[in-house]
A and B are shown apart, each in its own frame.
Chain A
Amino acid sequence: MARAVSLRRRTITTAAAWLIGFLIFFPILWTVITSFKTELEAFSTPPKFLFFEWTTENYGIVQERSNYLRFVSNSLILSIGSTLVALLFAIPAAWAMAFAPAKRTKDLLMWMLSTKMMPPVGALIPVYLIFRDLGLLDSRGGLIVVLFLLNLPIIVWMLYTYFKEIPGEILEAARMDGASLWKELVYVLAPMAVPGIASTLLLNVILAWNEAFWTLNLTTSAAAPLTAFIASYSSPEGLFWAKLSAASTMAIAPILVLGWFAQKQLVRGLTFGAVK
């Protein structure tokens, strides 16, 4: 039964919700606004909110100084590449764990997730040395491997929870109907799991896109993605707030657009398939 809510109460809670939403959104808004200021105005106290001379010169300078498209293509290759490789391993793994669980499947899943609890910096030096010795530093291939391994536990977990929702009897029915394992996967499982696989893919592309620790530490230029592009504007020669903001805006724009169009799938992805 719906609870009766007085108009006043509803007004207050609505206002509070908008306020909290605005607070969370504010840093991004501020970054975007700052990107349209001159360097001087970006530093001014008190800060100017909307009434300043709007300029797009920062975008021009940023585009001149660094090849934005190269960073974008690196980001695309790394995030999509690592997610696709991960799916290749995660789909069969999640499949096996969801439909043919063994005694320790749950433990295995917990253990996989627990690897995400270790601070990545703890593994930086060994990974860096391995990369150096194998000549993988600043290579896209090497980074794809790192990002793929980094997100694999989450991808397996997400797919596992999605697959778990599919009743085993439907797959058994397909087996009784004479479907081979391959046909069972293609005609029965895949169509039923498409929403789950899609939101897993989407969320992990975003995670990989935003990943900054490894991408910053293991690249210099050739394989550098947008995270390195942003970081390059907080350089030792001094901070350039306006240009940094312009670079950040350009870096988050593609993923923001992607996220906007895929909101529904993302929410479902973030709840790990717990909500129908």
Chain B
Amino acid sequence: MEDLLFYLFAFVVIGSASVVVLSKNIMYSAFSLLFTFFGVAGLYVLLFADFVALTQIMVYIGGILVLIIFGVLLTTKITGVDIKSGTTGKVQLITASVVVVIIAISLILLFTNVEWVNQEFVQPNTTIDSIGFAFMTKYLLPFEIAAVLLLIALVGATLIARRK
């Protein structure tokens, strides 16, 4: 069952991510990004990271994706006109293929390196407890700084985007 779910989610993630990158219509890209985010959230659940999965849905789909769609709407003059083939320069194609080859090689390396200790997954009941505890104790300092990071993003975004 879990195997089946894994393959299903993997298929959804890779399929929709390819649509994001290859689609000629930007709205199709934005909406298939939704499926990618959901698929990744499903994979988190399979990895027993329930709280991360929840946050993934709330932050990525509830926040970032909505922002992106707003961005699309604000920057297209008329919906549907914004169709453009992804023409690429030669330089980009060459760099892209070099990167793809490098990552493919590392993939093969991963495949051939199957000396994994077949350790059973540790299955906690819920991760929220331990995560909340860790945030308030061991990772308190980074947690506070992350708040500063979000503040500066807010200030910066309003500074750049305001009309005046």
A and B, one complex? no
